[in-house]
Amino acid sequence: MKKMALRLTVCLLLFVSAIPKGSAQSKSEEKYRKESEKIRNEVWAWDKPEFNNTAVPDKYSNTSQVVIAHHTELVADSRSKLIFYGLGFNSEKAQTLTEIVRERVKVNDKSAVEEFSELSFTRFEAKSGFLRNNRSTTYVGVRIVKPDKSVKEVNADDMVLTLDSDNEKKAKLAIPDLLPGDIIDYFIATEQKMSDDYAPKQYNILLFDESPVLHYSFHGQLGKKYAIDYRSYNGAPDLTVTKNKDKEVIIDVEKKDMPPYESSLWISPQRQLPLIRMNISLGYRGFMSDKYLGAAKPGEVNKDIDTDEIVKDLAKDYSQDFLYRYSKSEYDDIADDAHKKGQSVGLNIKDMPEDEKAAYLYYYARFVRLLALEPGNVKRSINIGDYTFNGFPILINCILKGGDIDAGIVVASPRLGFRMNEVLDADDLVSAAYLKNSKKIIHIGSIYDHPFMIPQSMSGEKDTRTMELKKKILMLTPASTTRLASVGGGFALPSTNAAQNTHLEELKINLNPGETKLSVQRTATLTGYYKHSWQRKLILYEDYYEQERKLVGEKETMLEALAGNQKTSWMVENVKRALADARKKQMEECIDEAKSWFEQEVTDLKDFKIESMGVRHTDPDFVFSESFLLDGLVKKAGSNIIFEIGKIQGQPLAIKDNQRKREQDVYMPYARSIGYDLRIQIPEGYSVEGVDALKKSVENETGYFKTEARVEGQVITVTVKKGYFHNFEPASNWDKMLAFMDASNEWENAKLLFKKN
């Protein structure tokens, strides 16, 4: 549940405190109180008629809360604004960004009263447009407007401290006398230091809210030293950007009557919801400014920056990183070492075809750089599967070049992120190394990835760019560093289909008459993007390491290598025990996984075995097997048995009534399919009824749900298949999706009768 947020942080010069009653006030506290009162008076005096409004349209009378007005002021070193607020903030010496967020909210029910009954930190962070913030001082003001229009101001100095250290303070405030039917009018003002900080600060204006918003506005006033890049998304209105006579940048936007937004299934906010983004930075005119450091000029205003400019900025970053890393020559060493190790297992990587060579280098680098045990951090090593990486495009480039492979970097925007032609900065982009000849992707997003896998975030993206990073330059100068990377046109990245991302369950099921638990022998096969969370849960680091050690030609086991080194020999027992601990926990993970997948009680789990880890491109499927007893699917009817076979698929996704009408396009993680191959043994002395009724088939251009069933001797064979053909569907196809999803849901009620002969 959201709470209103407040955070007080303090710089060395200012001291903020919630004054316990009766204690003495310091000078700085006194100053804070005075400033606090001043800013409250200023904000309450805003000449904005929407903040005098008490009326709410009838259509929202049953709504928990209605935002009557929301206004944000963003001020940076504006001479006129400083005078207006009459506040020092010490700003005459330091450059600061000041953000004031004010809201006027009608609370109509108990849940809204509860939400606004306390000011704490998280609300401010939710309401602030900044993604990251070095706040130094915060001020608040709160007023309650009663139904009779009387206004009561809350004593905001009744805040209490919950963190009280020298350079940071946190506080919260309980709001008195707030009842359903009241209006709460509050603001939070904060400042952020910008001195010598030229990094852009990203600021977002979200034009959607869970509550209806009658009037939304934003006003920015940035001193002439500042620069701004901005863009509007998904139908959001454009910012009005002008300059005043002092050459300050003035930014305004307003929107009225925003209906409440209800978050829905399979949405990409970046591609579907109205929002405005800005990057605000201090301009820099010094040595190596925009040409070499990518810094903006003071007063520069850029609307809808060209994507290629941003990709070039990314290329500059990459090139410097590449140069730094490559100059170390360590990647040549990796390639050489890989070559030697390969020879020890009978492989001559120099003669391999390019793809195979690239794969070998990848596996070797993965082993020595990620899988290798870190003696100083055993816990991290054992849990390396929990970590995700950015793909390591530079690292992989270095290693491939070390192996004389022609490689480049392909750049795209993530498929659930901002569109490629709408990116605002390099952080919006994702990238991966690729082989220039074959255009195959080489990417490490997790320890379980393998070569030629297209990262899920890039799958199917057509609008891409490529970069080439030069290995050497003649002379290292500021100008030449910018020529280290060249940016060119990209290529369409293939998309995966439902058959490539599968979860298949092969189950042999025995019923024991008189008992309600099924004996199950299970083999599960996961492919493509389905694998990762299962691999993470079930693969033991120790086993993974051991498998790869042999394949890359490393002769010593982990413990032998530790024991053989004087610096690490003392760790052997420690590591042994840590590995044993992890192995003991694996059984619990297996039971958890089975319970969570089948959504029933699972007992007596044994014979767990990983048949294939799925960490190599030559053997990419993750396959494991086990047996257990499964409860919850068998009911009795006298001497007969009802097998609720429909529940073997757990609880399929049920689309609620309020989700059945959809106007937004559907962004799913990936095309996928789930299948069950069941072989059910008919108990001796029993016959089966209801097999034919299990058959069902619904298929259309968006997906399918199909079941087949037949009896062969004493075995019932049932196949259940469900698939989503695409990772994206237009809203017009939603009813087609509902057709097969509903069919899957209805099949949950499918039953078989085993009748005693």
Q: In this complex, which beta carbon is closest to another protein, that of residue 84 or of residue 570?
A: 570
CB of 505 vs another protein, minimal distance in Å: 23
The per-residue b/e assignment along 401-431, b for 16 or more CB within 10 angstroms, e otherwise, is bbbebebbbbbbbbbbbbbbebbbbbebbbb
**What are the Cα distances from residue 633, in Å, to 109, 344, 350, 402?**
43, 54, 57, 57
Please tell me the count of residues contacting another protein according to CB under 8 A: 59
- Contact with another protein (CB under 8 A) among 243, 350, 585, 635: 635
Joined together, the tokens standing for residue 178 give: 């707030």
Give me the least distance between CB of 617 and another protein, in Å please. 36
Name which of residues 366 to 385 contact another protein (CB under 8 A): 378
Report the residue from 642, 668, 682, 738 that binds another protein according to the rule CB under 8 A.
642
When binding is defined by CB under 8 A, the residue of 49, 658, 713, 757 that contacts another protein is 658
Q: Interface with another protein includes 473 (CB under 8 A)?
A: no
The single residue listed with the structure tokens 């099921």 is 509
Query: Which one, 110 or 291, has the nearer CB to another protein?
Result: 110
Residues 6+ apart with CB under 8 A from 470: 319, 483, 484, 485, 486
Least Å distance, CB 253 to another protein, is 28
- Cβ atoms of 455 and 430 within 8 Å: the answer is yes
Angstrom distance (rounded) from CA 138 to CA 6? 8
Which region among 229-237, 363-371, 396-404, 566-574 touches another protein (by CB under 8 A)? 566-574
To the nearest whole angstrom, how small is the minimum distance from the Cβ of residue 475 to another protein? 44
Nearer to another protein, 113 or 613 (CB): 113
Q: How far is the CB of 108 from another protein (least distance, A)?
A: 7
The rounded radius of gyration (Å) of the Cα atoms in the chain is 31
- Indicate which single residue of 112, 398, 420, 613 sits in contact with another protein (rule: CB under 8 A): 112
Residues 505-544: x where in contact with another protein by CB under 8 A, - otherwise, as a string: -----------x----------------------------
Cα separation, 322 vs 331, whole angstroms: 11
In the complex, the smallest distance separating the C-beta of residue 63 from another protein, rounded to whole angstroms, is 5
Report in angstroms how near the CB of residue 378 gets to another protein at its nearest: 7
Nearer to another protein, 244 or 565 (CB): 565
User: Taking Cα atoms as reference points, which of 746, 733, 594 lies closest to residue 668?
Assistant: 733
Q: Which residue among 9, 98, 413, 745 contacts another protein (CB under 8 A)? A: 745
CB 186 within 8 A of CB 141: yes
| Residue 566, phi then psi, degrees to nearest 5 | -55, -35
Nearer to another protein, 163 or 199 (CB): 163
Pick 161 or 372: Cβ nearer another protein? 161
Q: Could you say which of 2, 369, 636, 756 contacts another protein (CB under 8 A)?
A: 636
Contacting range for another protein; rule: CB under 8 A; set: 9-17, 198-206, 227-235, 650-658: 650-658
Give the nearer residue to another protein in terms of CB position, either 299 or 375. Answer: 375
3-state secondary structure (DSSP) of residue 319: helix
What tokens were used for 43? Answer: 């904000």
- Return the number of the residue (176 or 235) whose C-beta is nearest another protein: 176
Bridge-based pairing state of the strands 502-511 and 672-681: parallel
d(CA 128, CA 203): 8
Stretch that binds another protein, among 33-41, 411-419, 539-547, 652-660 (CB under 8 A): 652-660
Minimum CB separation from another protein for residue 388, in Å? 24
Distance CA 144, CA 668 (A): 43
Interface with another protein in residues 217-256 (CB under 8 A): none
Q: Does 749 bind another protein (CB under 8 A)?
A: yes
CA distance 557 to 185: 66
In whole angstroms, give the CA distance from residue 202 to residue 442. Answer: 31
Given the complex with another protein, which of 566 and 618 has the nearer CB atom?
566
- Which of 143/312 has CB closer to another protein? 143
Complex with another protein: residue 327 or 565, whichever CB lies closer: 565
Site for another protein in 34-93 (CB under 8 A): 62-65
The span of 124-132, 226-234, 365-373, 570-578 binding another protein (CB under 8 A) equals 570-578
Residues 146-185 that bind another protein (CB under 8 A): 160-165, 172, 174, 176-179
CB of 673 to another protein, least distance (A): 22
- Of the pair 711, 753, the CB lying nearest another protein is at 753
Nearest 10 degrees: CA dihedral of 336, 340, 342, 345?
Answer: -170
Residue from 656, 661, 663, 713 touching another protein (CB under 8 A): that is 656
Q: State the greatest distance between any 2 C-alpha atoms of the chain, in Å, as a whole number.
A: 96
Which residue in 36, 78, 98, 108 binds another protein (CB under 8 A)? 108
Residue with tokens 């942080």: 9
Amino acid making up residue 534 = W
Q: What are the φ/ψ torsions at residue 623 (nearest 5 degrees)? A: -130, 130
Comparing CA positions, the residue from 753, 678, 751, 675 lying closest to residue 715 is 678
| Phi, psi for 702 (deg, rounded to 5) | -100, -25
Separation CA 560–CA 515 (nearest Å): 50
| Candidate residues 573, 599, 701, 708; the one interacting with another protein per rule CB under 8 A | 573
Task: Say if CB 741 and CB 634 are below 8 A apart.
Answer: no
Which among 183-191, 407-415, 606-614, 631-639 is the span making contact with another protein, rule CB under 8 A?
631-639
126 is a contact residue toward another protein (CB under 8 A): no
**To the nearest whole angstrom, how small is the minimum distance from the Cβ of residue 635 to another protein?**
5
Tokens standing for 207?
Answer: 């034009």
- Site of tokens 């919801």: 273
H or E stretch covering 609 = strand 602-612
Select 89 or 747, whichever has its Cβ closest to another protein: 747
Q: Which helix (H) or strand (E) holds 334?
A: helix 330-344
Q: Using the rule CB under 8 A, which residue among 355, 690, 696, 736 binds another protein?
A: 690
Kindly state the smallest distance separating residue 644's Cβ from another protein, in Å: 9
Q: Distance between the two ends of the chain, CA-based, in angstroms? A: 57
- Rounded to a whole number of angstroms, the minimum distance from the CB of residue 266 to another protein is 18
List 199, 570, 587, 700, residue binding another protein (CB under 8 A): 570
Contacting another protein (CB under 8 A), which of 293, 682, 738, 753? 753
> What is each CA distance from 661 to 350, 396, 723, 742, in whole angstroms?
59, 46, 21, 14
Alpha-helical runs (H) found in 599-677: none
Tell me the DSSP string of 632-649.
SSEEEETTEEEE-GGGGG
Given the structure tokens 């799925």, which residue do they identify? 614
Q: Which residue number, 637 or 731, has a Cβ lying nearer to another protein?
A: 637
- Least separation in angstroms between residue 738's CB and another protein is 11
| Cα–Cα nearest to 736, from 704, 710, 692, 697 | 704
Q: Cβ of residue 489: shortest distance to another protein, in angstroms?
A: 48
Alpha helices of 188-329 — where are they, by DSSP H? 269-272, 307-326
- For another protein, give the closer residue by CB, 256 or 379: 379
Residue 250, Cβ neighbours under 10 Å: how many?
Answer: 16
Rank residues 373 and 498 by Cβ distance to another protein and give the closer one: 373
Distances (CA, A) of 419 to 208, 233, 285, 433, 586: 19, 10, 31, 21, 41
- Interface with another protein (CB under 8 A): 1, 20, 62-65, 108-114, 117-118, 160-165, 172, 174, 176-179, 378, 516, 570, 573-575, 577-578, 581, 634-638, 640, 642, 651, 654-658, 689-690, 742, 745-746, 748-749, 751, 753, 755
